[in-house]
Every structure is written in structure tokens, then in C-alpha cells.
Amino acid sequence: MMRCSLWGSIHCAGAFDATPIVDTSLKAFRAMIDVNTITCFLCSREAVRKMRATGDPLGGRIVNVGSKPAHVPAGGTIAYSAAKAAVHALTLNLSEELAAERIWVNAVVPSTMDTPANRKAMPKADFEKWAKLSEVAATIAFLASPQNAVTRGALVPVYGRS
């Protein structure tokens, strides 16, 4: 039987919603929780199971993707912000739970990222201020790497100039 080991697990599934609370349905709120929080929980749980099964004394790395509006209120993003705040809480709590096993858990916390979808949605914005995907990816790659020998429990802002 072939044994598959896991060193790093990056959880970047998510969706965005910008709806004021009075216009946010319970269905839409639950959808944000399902896509942003539940996927993070399930991926983290399975990553921990796999990392523990390998018995690697160096542990492993988990990197989640949070969001700036969960830290810095943006208004009109109640469902999205609540779901990402739960991702932040999951990250911080897992970091403490897994520290003794050297499984470091962190999250990147991007602001608006420079993607084609965001450019289309906000055509008058200053795209140069937004974090580039490659810059966010570089931060994730470091946090998920063996070179990250000490950083855990961090919610790392990757805001660019926005």
C-alpha cells in the first residue's frame, strides 16, 4: 500500500458577497458560511488527520485565506465578513491546538486582490494599489514552507497599498 504524506495544506476556497444586512437572506448568509468557513474547517480537519498519520517530527503547515473586511469593517459585507472572521478564529484556535505537534497554522489576510473579476467589478478603482496574486502566493508559499520555522497563529495582512 502506498503511503501519501502531507507537509502543507493551503485552503483558499471562498466566495464574496456585498449585501447590506437588511437585504441579506438567511440562505445567502449560510452560503457564505458554507463556502468560506465550512470548507476551511473540512480541509483543515483532513489535513491534520493526514499530517498526524505521517508521523513527521517536523510537523506540517496549514495556511488559510482570510480577508481584510473580517478585521477592518467595510460595511455592506456582513455575511462575507462574518464567514471570514470565522476562518480567522479557526486559524488562531488550530494554531494553539496543534503547536505541540509542530503543525503551524497561519492565514493570509488579503484586501482586494488584482484579479480579472475584481477589475471588472470595480473598473474605476486604482488597480495598482491592489495586492497582486503573485505577491499573495509568495506569502502563502513562505508560510507553508519548511523555512517557516517559527511563525504560527498569524493573520498576515497582504493588503498592498489598498
Say how many Å lie between the first and final Cα of the chain, rounded.
50
- The catalytically annotated residue of 16, 29, 80, 104 is 80
Alpha carbons 16 and 25: distance in angstroms, whole number = 15
Active site residue 159: no
**Among 94, 115, 110, which Cα is nearest to 52's?**
94
C-alpha to C-alpha distances, 105 to 44, 48, 117, nearest whole angstrom? 9, 10, 29
Alpha carbons 40 and 13: distance in angstroms, whole number = 7
Alpha carbons 22 and 26: distance in angstroms, whole number = 11
- Contact yes or no for 87/69 (Cβ under 8 A): no
Residues carrying an active site annotation: 80
